[in-house]
Every structure is written in structure tokens, then in C-alpha cells.
Chain A
Amino acid sequence: MKKRCIIFSLVFCLTMLLSLPLLADGVTNTTSGLTASTETMSEIFEKLRIERANLVGGQTEVMTQANEAKIRVEAILNQSIAENKALTFEQLESLKKDLATIKSAQDILNTVLTDIRTTTTEVGEYMPIKEYLYKLINLYSEKALQLYDVADTLKDVAVNA
């Protein structure tokens, strides 16, 4: 019985230790399930096209939402000028939160830009090899999600002010 316990404990320790690298990496993105190497190049290129379109969609969404937020801010500004009335306590509190949101959005965008630039400049011209294409697909997929998240946060800017 004791022997079994010891073996079980050792196996448990070993499993936990082996899974440490996964934890350290924060479990890297496996959303696209891009581990299969049986895919044809044509299928991989198709995935790249989809993720590229997704990324461009995210980019457009960020720009659209930032523009709409800008319109809302300018409406408040115009109203403030027209009525010559100071902003209320609630409006100012809301603007503080909006500023934090905007600053955070800028930080995320800077990271997205840097990550994409770094990866694409690692190889001068992108190579039609599976590993590199998978890397690009994962990168585009991950960054598109971040862009959509940024766009979502911008929807709340200047809504309550």
C-alpha cells in the first residue's frame, strides 16, 4: 500500500514538474489547433488568408470605434461650449475612466504593432514554409482578438459623460 502511495506521489510530482514550462508560458495559444502538420500548404495558406482578414477586421473595428468615441467627445465639447456650462462631478469621474481606457488601448496597440513588426522582420520576406506560416497564423489570430477587445473597450468611452 505504502509502495503504491510512493509511486503515485512520484508520478504526481513528475507530471507537475513536466507541466511547469506550460504554466510559465501561460499556456500558449492553441485556439487555432495549428499543431497538425498533415495540412497541405494550400490549407495553411487559406488559414493565413482568414486570419489576415480577421486582423484587418480588428484594425478597422478599432478605428471605427475610436472615431465614434471621438464624435461623442466632440458632442460633449460642443454642448459645453454652447451652454457655457461646467461638467458635472459624474461627467468628470467618467472622463477619468475614459482616459484610463484610452491610455490602456494605446499601450495594447503599441504592443500589437511591435509584436507584428518583430515577427515579420525576423525573416525579410515571409517564407512559404509551414513553421513560419503557422507562426504568422497564430500571431494574426492572437492580435486580432486583442484588437477586437480594444474596440470593445472604446465603445464605452464618453458614453456616460
Chain B
Amino acid sequence: MKGKPLVLAFLAVGFGETVSQVLLIRELMTNFQGNELALGVILANWLFLIGVGSWCAGRAADRVPVGLSAFVIIQLLFCLILPVQLFLARTINNLIGVQPGEMVGLLPILYSSFLILGPICVLHGCQFALGCRILAAGAETPARQVGNIYVAEALGSMVGGAGFTYLLVHHLHAFEIALVTILLNLMAALLLLRPWQQPEGLLTRSLVGPIILILGLGAHSWLSGNLARADQLSREWQWTGYNLVYHQDSVYGNIAATESEGQTSFYFSGLLALTSPDPDIVVVEEMAHYPLLSHPAPRTVLLVGGGIGGVLDEILKHPVESVDYVELDPLIIETAREYAGTEALDDPRLRLILTDARLFVRDARDEYDVVIVSLPPPSTLQLNRAYTKEFFQEVVQRLTPQGILCFGFPASEAYMSGEMIEHNRSIYETTRAVFPHISLVPGDWTVLLASPSPLDLGEIRQRFGERDLETRLLNAPYLEYRLSQERIERGLNLYQAEEGQINRDLRPIATYYNLALWNVMFYPAWGNVFGWMSGLNLGWVLSPAVLAVVVLTAMRGKAGGTRFHNAAVILAIAATGFAGMTLSIVLMLVFQIYQGLLYQRIGVLVAAFMLGLAMGGLAMAGSVERVRRDVRVLVSTEVAIIGYAFLLPFLVMRLPQIADLAPRLPREVPLTLLNCLAGFLVGLQFPLANKIYLGTTERGLGRVAGGLYASDLAGGVFGALLTSVFLIPILGMTATCLTVVILKLASLALLMGAA
């Protein structure tokens, strides 16, 4: 009777989980000017807290008789807490006493994301364990019921993710989206209680009132505009000390504009991106004029990012024929037009291209005399794509024989720390691996120029006189100082003194250096940890895995077969949680490299994984009760995951060839299918593991399902923390996949030992 509505309710739960995750994490990333490390910590926190909820609720659920009412109460709590947490997420900087504009280190990020995510995540974890317990109580096929819930939640997540990306974010602000989620969950709660059928029990009946009350309140606050006021108020608090004149969420992040004394400043996801009408004149003039003056007669220019920050205006001062300007987020251009009145955007020589820069450069046909990349340093895997050997190779293809690539990075005139030298040296070395001729203009903002033909920066001074440019900063004495042969050589010598690490698409080491540099700002003492971790190799994974297998197997005799057996199942699920997280991060990175960061495509990619997860769960849940030799089936799924992780790097390297096999197929199809398959394999295991565990233990179902879910998430926590910050940047994609292979081999060995 209660089965179907509860499974349906988990669609709402999964929807709520994903949407609240996106909403809260987006705000936290805006507040903390998030880099890859911050994102890893926030994600890990998220999974950890759900795991805690699930584990605790599972233990409690078996001891006290719980019914639907407990489940509905948790759902109600979720509905009440979500808007509060959203408000808190925006204003957390004020609460933890951070000065306006001040950046914070990892510890404040850790505890504030814990505070913000805690209540929501723990409730979600409880819902899962409780739902399993309720549904399976008295059921003949408990494992199958757990499987159904797992599937419903995965489907709900998929719908939530897709709905957010393609629909909600375009039409509603954050509080409205939260309300949609709440309404959905309340309706699911009503469906569960079935007030029209005169439910039994005082508690159950008395819950109907509050649900209807909250429904009414939600609808009223929306219609009366209170919701919009809450959105506005929390945004203003988020920007305490600033005069916020505009804010808007786009699919790529948050765009905000502040105004003061005739100056407008624009922030993309909390990062200061540009200031109008007076930008950082030193940076914009140097970034534009050095490359254009290095070229004897530049006609065609490609500008990647940062154009509306002033570089575009400077480029257009030259008699160039065309400027192609690539920017990812159309909303950035719209905002700049409206609030900065960037006139350069109306220049007839300008062609505006709204797409992913990597994608554009790869597919472009035109050739350019000058390519200027004006993006922030590689603090995320996403940004790192503009600093890799592969990207530079694509740029060379688009350069005329005398063409010049130009980009810049922060350095220091006074002192260069080891972290900063390593970061910059890696980028320098990567450029040198592709371009035979490199020169740079050292300074607090160092400008690097690279070309297939010899470069002579001395010509900049001469051409500056000839081209008669109207500049605010550049003049003959300034150029004489900045471009003195001695200074340039001193700068080059610094980077040439030692060999640097080459930054690759599939081994993005520059991101690691950037995070190390960021971290040392707050915790100088941790600098050694980052240095030490950079020696990471597969042996670090292999040795403990082998030892763990040996030791656990040796302990088997003492501990007894069943307990060992169950420990093996739990570890297998944890390793699968790790594998699931790591493989999705790998596929996300690979997808961005080959297909760009276009949200239309990334959304499909994420949904594909969730769909695979649901399909895997569904396939197994449907047949789990009929499976006899369940351990053997689990072993087969282990082998399948190992095979997948082992083959993935080979497939990824052959992706272009694979795409050529079926030229009519959209290029993103193979990767999307691969991601779906990864989800499928991971999804297969959960219902099966439940059945195996349940068959051998006297423990209640809530505890088993809750515990397994928690171990799945625990594996995910490690995946979130390690993969994007350490494994991929230091080891590279192939060895990261091999890490998964090693861990899964270890869990497989344990399972075999148990069977």
C-alpha cells in the first residue's frame, strides 16, 4: 500500500537533494571565491554529512518503531530549513566576522560549509535510512525495496540537475527555486499521508495541518513578493559594504555589479573581473600593446576572455582589420553593455563569439597574427585548460608564421616565493615545449610572449613611436625601463634556472601549484605538506592497499567468517563510492577538454551518470531476489568496474579517432555514453550489497542500508577531496584511473577471500 507513494516521494527527495546542493554550493563558492580545493572541501563535506545522517538514522530506525510520520516530519523540517540555510549561505561571511572583500583560508571554508550544509545533508541521510526501513518492514523482498529507493533518488537527482540547468536557473531566482523544491516535497508528503483516506493515528493526522500551512505560506510569500525581498536582502547582506546595483545568476555562476563614486565593478562568481571606467591600466595596456607592437603588421587578433575589462579597447587602438573576442557567458556581455557601456563592443571590426574558448580554438578556421589570452590563473581544472601544452599546440595551428601568443600571470618584483616560481615556471616550461621563441616582460604582472618566429622586444619601443598610439601609461621612458635587456634576461633566467613540470590537459599540474600558492597565503606551515604531497605516486596507493588486504585476510581466522564477509562488502561499496566520484571527475575533465564547458552539454553529461546509476540500480533491484549466487554476481560487477577504470584512459586517448569512426554522430556522444556506463556499473552494486549483507546478519534493515549508504558516501568523500586536487594534477588521468583499479582490486581480493 505505502510502497509506491514512498518510492515516488524519493523522486522529490532526490530532486530536493540535487537542487539544494547546487543552490548552496553556488553561494558558498561565490563567497569564498572558490578554487578547486574549496570545491573539493565543500563537496566532501556534503557527502560526509549525508553519510552521518544515514548512518545515525539507520541505527536509530531499527530500535524504535518508525512510521511514515517520522519520514514526513523530516521532509517538513527540510522544507523549513532550506530557505534558512540559503539565507545563511549568502551571509555567512558576515557571521564568521570576515571583513568585506577579504578572502578566507581553508579552515573557515571547512567549518562554514559544515554549518551551512549540515542540517540539510543530515536530514537527507536520515530520509534514506528511514525510507528503506519503512518500505522494507515486513516486505518479502527487502533488498529490492532498498534498490527501488536508490533508483528513485537517483532519478530525482537527475531530474533536479537537468531541471535546474535547463529551466529553473533561467527563469527563477534562488529563493523561488528553493520554493519549487519545497512545494514538490510537500506534495509528496501529502501523497504519503493520504489525508483523503482518513489516515490512522493522531500523529499522522496532525501532520496534515502543518503541511497545508507551509504550502500556503510558501505560495503567499511568492505571490506577495516577500520571496523576492528575501532574495534582495540576502544579496545585499552578502555584499555588505558595497553598493550592489545588479545581481543575476547565470548557468555558469553569479554575476554582480557594484557602484561607487562613478566606478562600476563586476564580479563573476565572487571574483572581481573588471572595473569601469578606470581598469588596472598597467595590466590592460601591457597585455594589449606588447604583443601588437611585437608584430610588424597585425591584422587579425583573437582575444580570449577579459575583453570588456579594457583590453579590447586597447587592441582596437591599433589599425587591425578584425578582432575575434571569445567569451563563455553571454550574460557577462549583456551586463557589460548595460552597466559599463563598453563602446568597444559596437566596433565594426569586432566579432563576438559566445562559446567555450577551447572549443573555438580547436574548430576555428581563421588564422591570427596575435592571440591574447586574458583569463585568471589556473586555480581550477576548468581554467587550467587555457595553460596546457595541448591548448598551446592548438593555438599554434591558428597562428600565422609570425604570429604571437600573449598571456600574463602574477609575479613579484620584490621577492618570488618557491611556490610562485614553481607555478610560473611550469607555465613557462609548457609554453616553451610548444613555441621555439619566448620572451617575457617581468613585473608584478608578468607578460609572456611566444611565437613560432624569433621575437625582439626591442622593436616594441621603436614601433610604439611609429604607430602613434594614445595611451595613458605607455611612453618612451616607461618602455625603456620595462623592456631593458637586463630586466628581461633576469626574468628569463629565473624560469630557465631549473626544469619545470609541463602542464598537460590530462595532468594539470599547474592547478596544483596554484592551489599550493593560494594555501600558503593562509597557512605558511602547510607549504611543506603541499611540497611533500607533490611526490605522490602510485606506490602510495598500492602499498597500503596490498598491506590492508594481507592484514585483513590474516585477521579473518580470528574475527570469524561472517564479520569478515560483511567487512569485505562494506569496503567494496566504499571503494565503489570512491570509484564513482573519481571516474565522474575524470570524465568531466575530459569532457571539458574535448567538448568545452558549455552548460547544455555538461548538464547532459551529469544527467547521464545519474541515469546510468538509476538504470544500474533498477536492473539489479528487479532481479536481486532471484539471484542465487549473489557474492559471485557482486564479484562480477567488481571485475566490470576494474575493467572499466583500466580501459578508460585508453579510450580517452583514442577519443578523436573514435569520433572519426562515426562522423555524423555528435562528438559528445561517446563520452556521455561512457559516463552513463560508469553510473550503471556503480548503480548495480548497491542493491546487491544490501542483499548479501542482509542475508548474513541479524541487524535491522535500516542499519544495514544506512551503513552501506554511508560507506558509499565515505568513498565519495575521499574521491571529492583527493581526485581534483591531488590525484589528477599530480598523477595525471591515467594513474588516477589506475588508483581506482588498485583500490577495486583490493576490495575484490577481500570479497574473493570472503567467498
A and B co-occur in one complex: no
* A residues lining the B interface (CB < 8 Å): none
* B residues lining the A interface (CB < 8 Å): none
